[in-house]
Chain A
Amino acid sequence: MNEDLMPYDPTVDYTGEPAIKEITPDGSKHIPPWKPLNLTRRRFLQGVVCSGIAVSSTAILFTSGTRPARADARAVERLITLNVNGRKRNVDVAPNETLAHTLRYGLNLIGTKVGCNRAECGACAVMADGVSIYSCSTLTHRIKNKSITTIEGIADSDGTLHPVQQAFIDELGPQCGFCTPGQVVTAVSFLKENPNPTVDEARMAMSGNLCRCGAYDHYLKGVMKASEKV
């Protein structure tokens, strides 16, 4: 059998030495000594908290106990309690995490949609203390003391739809439906504040929610219809 036709076998060339040889200036070969990971209890616990694998109350105790004492130089704690839809939910929130991210991926409230992710479409609108805000452009830590209402918290617990939701169905508001959670939340917060709006007021209030299907008039009619019932 002709050896040239055999497939290349890498084990033939294997010498057991590192592929990239480190050469010291005097030409001798240098292999850096192996070091164990510098793993302290604190670092380990922080790692556990960061990766979100297991978060126990003991971990909170240990980490918070070893924080520096200076209050002014302390960054935010990651483990916070959020008041969402009337329930207190414990969640691990990174400093740079947006509310939309926390709701969708931390609390699994995926009714809130992320459209543009830069405060330009309104699909992510939720209520913070009854005020409609863009959750995609709000750091969760900023609103941790407020009570959040998402689209999941709009209908009654027995499943009865909010008048706004029913009106949107009646007026054929949703087409693809992606913007609908935001539209509903904005309309609910608006009608809470102004139960008897004029069409222009309603149009102005809903102007922060884009609908790429173009069903603006349907939503507007829905808001006006719902305003008769709230």
Chain B
Amino acid sequence: MTDMMHNFELFQPGSLADAQALVKKHGDNAWLLAGGKDSLDWFKDRVKQPAAVIDISGLAELNGGIRDDDGGVYISAMTTLTEITKSELIKERFPMLADAAERVASPQIRNVGTIGGNLCQDTRCHYYRDGFPCYRAGGDTCFANTPTAMNREHALFEAKRCVAVTPSDTAPACVALDAEMLVQRGENQIVVPAEEFFIGPEIDIERMTVLEPGDILLGIRIPATWAESHQYFEKVADRNTWDFALVSVAMAAIKEGDSVSDIRMVCGAVQCTPRRMSNVEDLLKGEVPNEEMETLASRVASSGAKALNYNHFKQPLMANLAKRAVRSLSA
């Protein structure tokens, strides 16, 4: 009906079992629609043309909102990013996640876009998005890593054939907070730690997450481990609204007296998965954060990076973000 999107059948199942039956029936032609913000762009570009679109927004299992979970929180997958930003529970216990959710896209997108969709979204590599037959699309070339390619937004680390990066802002926060993903697979519910939930090209070059066709992300459980700890989130993007991160950093730290007893620092948009900055973590554990530690952290932050033609700038960006995160500890 619109001049842009292909014709598809829209299903609005009322139960999880119905949704799974529909996915099973339509197989490769099925597409799960949550908030629909990213899906509709795929359709309008006509890069993805599924015959059956299954709107899972009506499923009660995904619409539980945000609730207390033994000192942590449980967030249902269909919770919108605005709800997360405004949730008192999350602001109190995990302010970093609220900050990260607030930095996603624009207010109207956050009003509709869901946390589940934000975590599961596909990469923003523009070659892949434009329908180039690259590795990720099942082809045999990476168009973003050629001598003339524009790869300003691409990966610094762990690029195996594909150089795409994770686009999600909430993903680094979830990894830093040791979140667990609750996934419905067939008749079973499985729990996947956030760090294993996101997968790189060495595991499967065509997927960003462990979700297989037919799997549905039910919700995110964040344990009490890092509740009300010192948290920091910062995202750098070309524009403050709409744009995806060039580099983002998420940090959670527990302090005993002046020194840091435990710390998690995760960097987004430099690798296909959120990157644990374990060298910075090792450096800071047991130390008192001061100017010297800031400098040291910034020096090791991007070590091991293999820059492409146009993304060298991400290395100092990572270093500075690490520095600022550490600086927030001594404030």
Contacts and interface: CB of A to CB of B under 8 A. Distances in A.
A131 B25 CA distance: 35
Contacts of B241: 207-208
A95 B10 contact: yes
Contact of B43 (A74, A96, A186, A205): A96
A132 B108 contact: yes
Interface string A119-150: 11010010000011110011101100000000
How would you classify the secondary structure of chain A's contact residues: helix, strand, loop or mixed? mixed
Given A98-B40, A142-B57, A186 B9 contact: no
Interface stretch (B11-19, B62-70, B158-166, B181-189): B11-19
A74, A139, A141, A204 pick with most chain B CB within 10 angstroms = A139
Interface string A87-115: 00000011111100100000000000000
A133 B9 contact: no
Interface residues of B, number: 40
Contact of A117 (B4, B14, B22, B106): B4
B36 A138 contact: yes
A186 B106 CA distance: 12
B1 A101 contact: yes
Contacts of A120: 242
Contacts of A133: 108, 111-112
A172 B155 CA distance: 45
Given A95-B10, A95-B53, A132 B36 contact: no
B8 A95 contact: yes
B131 interface: no
A121 B264 CA distance: 36
B1 A96 contact: yes
Given A76-B12, A122-B108, A96 B2 contact: yes
A208 B12 contact: no
B7 A119 contact: no
A132 B33 CA distance: 20
Nearest to A98: B2
10 contacts: A72-B17, A75-B9, A95-B8, A98-B2, A117-B4, A134-B108, A137-B37, A137-B41, A204-B107, A208-B107
